[in-house]
Structure 1
Amino acid sequence: MAQQILIVEDEPSIAELIAVNLTHAGYIVSRAMQSDEAISMLATQVPDLIVLDWMLPGKSGVQLAKELRANENYSGIPILMLTAKGEEADKVAGLDAGADDYVTKPFSPKELIARVKALLRRYSATPEEGPLVVGPMSLDAVTHRISVNWPDQEMKNLSLGPTEFRLLNFLMANPERVHSRANLLDHVWGNEAYIEERTVDVHVKRLRAALAPFGCDQFIETVRGSGYRITKTPLSQ
């Protein structure tokens, strides 16, 4: 069955260019010109991926991305952000908002399709069976669920975006090992040449922010000059 992609873009010519190329690549495409229209469409059909423009009339693409990541019904949808902003700080802002990847305008249709395919491959990969446990956290890659169960406390469920889920999954599958940014790119992002190492820092920051309300951010440690690891015995515990 063909995968479905929602394009949220207010410039008709760009939306048409994207839609034509995605359709030729075998995807089923739907379009929205504003954030509110996109939200209404999501209520009836959840796509496999969203191509989201940064600059939209009314509610911006960045605001929409944040809302989607905060909604458990849509938090698992990969988001490819379109932006005319090419500076590193702007790219980081897009990733901070919840985007999984970005394309800077003007872009080539071939690059766009390559990024879409890479994102969909990344999130449609068959998960390993069996829950992973580190500290109070239990992650089940098959059901895509994470629970936090501290002693003498009620078990709580944790919702993560797709990239943060894969990042936590990989770290929990390899506890105590230090992973360089390049190594994390290879294993979590699928060794995609389009992704910069700075992206890893952004997603680690997002992962820690999501874990913090559950008291679990301390398990993700930065090893200066080397990378990141997840530990079963955090120093601040």
Structure 2
Amino acid sequence: MKILIVEDDSAIRHLIQQTLEEDNFECQAVDNGLVALDFVQKMQPDLIVLDRMLPGLDGLEICCRIRQNKSIKDPYIIMLTAKGEEMDRIIGLSTGVDDYMVKPFSPRELTARVRAVLRRSLRQLEPVQIYQTLHFAIDLDRRTATRLHGGNSELLDLTTIEFKLLSTFLSYPNRVWSRAQLIEKLWGDDFFGEDRVVDSHVARLRKKVEFDSSKPTFIKTVSGVGYKFEDSDG
């Protein structure tokens, strides 16, 4: 597994790299946001440990650019920050951050989170080959997701988490899912962080499956509970 460390504090950067390499991860470390984007393009890392405050570009902008760039492998991102306020965490999650750690932190805890996040990509979906509703079809063997409309079909470009999330919704249409249930379904005991990470992934999935993500037709918010998937002629 390849990990890119983006941290401008040399002591922290060295400590993270040393700790992860001791656990047999392949690591590259940089101290600048603009340099980091070049490394992401060339290295195609599986995971990025990303500082919030950086010279060149800050961590949030880097995260946004990575998620928007289709030529970049979609990596997991753990953001480090000295800021612990809830709003900063919400902003980070909304840009596509998968996990969040506030400085100071234990290097061993960071390693545990890295391992947990990477294990998410190795989890297998339930042994059902195909889910289909009126406007969507999921083939788990081929890992394809298709939107059907007016006799036409459109192959959806989904990340691993988005594919698993849509598969979960299609497996139980009209079921109401709490955030805790979705976390358990997608990540199980490997999850570290806050349940708002679900909102971030749902928002990104809506942009790909809804005809108008501001007025969702399929993935509905259930106030005070979570989400449900509806797919009908209406």
Which residue is equivalent to 2:149? 150
Cα distance in 1 for residues equivalent to 2:70 and 2:165: 18
1:114 aligns with 2:112: yes
What secondary structure does 1:47 align onto? coil
Output aligned runs, 1:1-237, within 5 Å.
3-74=1-72, 76-127=74-125, 128=127, 130-153=129-152, 155-192=153-190, 194-213=192-211, 217-233=216-232, 237=234
> How much does 1:75 deviate?
5.3
> How much does 1:20 deviate?
0.7
Identity %: 38
Cα distance in 2 for residues equivalent to 1:147 and 1:168: 11
What secondary structure does 2:231 align onto? coil
Q: Give the length in aligned residue pairs.
A: 232
Cα distance in 1 for residues equivalent to 2:72 and 2:211: 20
What secondary structure does 2:101 align onto? strand
Relative to structure 1, is the Cα distance of residues 42 and 193 closer, same or farther in structure 2, using a 3 angstrom cutoff?
Answer: closer
Kept in 2: contact 1:75–1:162 (CA 8 A): no
Kept in 2: contact 1:219–1:232 (CA 8 A): yes
Cα distance in 2 for residues equivalent to 1:34 and 1:134: 46
Kept in 2: contact 1:185–1:192 (CA 8 A): no
Cα distance in 2 for residues equivalent to 1:135 and 1:64: 37
Which structure 2 segments of 5+ residues have no match? none
Kept in 1: contact 2:52–2:59 (CA 8 A): yes
> How much does 1:193 deviate?
5.8
Which structure 1 segments of 5+ residues have no match? none
Relative to structure 1, is the Cα distance of residues 144 and 193 closer, same or farther in structure 2, using a 3 angstrom cutoff?
Answer: closer
> How much does 1:214 deviate?
6.6
What secondary structure does 1:44 align onto? helix
> How much does 1:62 deviate?
0.8
User: Aligned partner of 1:53: which letter?
Assistant: D
What secondary structure does 2:189 align onto? coil
Cα distance in 2 for residues equivalent to 1:230 and 1:33: 42
Relative to structure 1, is the Cα distance of residues 213 and 131 closer, same or farther in structure 2, using a 3 angstrom cutoff?
Answer: same
Greater alpha carbon shift after TM alignment, 59-68 vs 182-191: 182-191
Cα distance in 1 for residues equivalent to 2:37 and 2:143: 23
User: Aligned partner of 1:13: which letter?
Assistant: A
What secondary structure does 2:137 align onto? strand
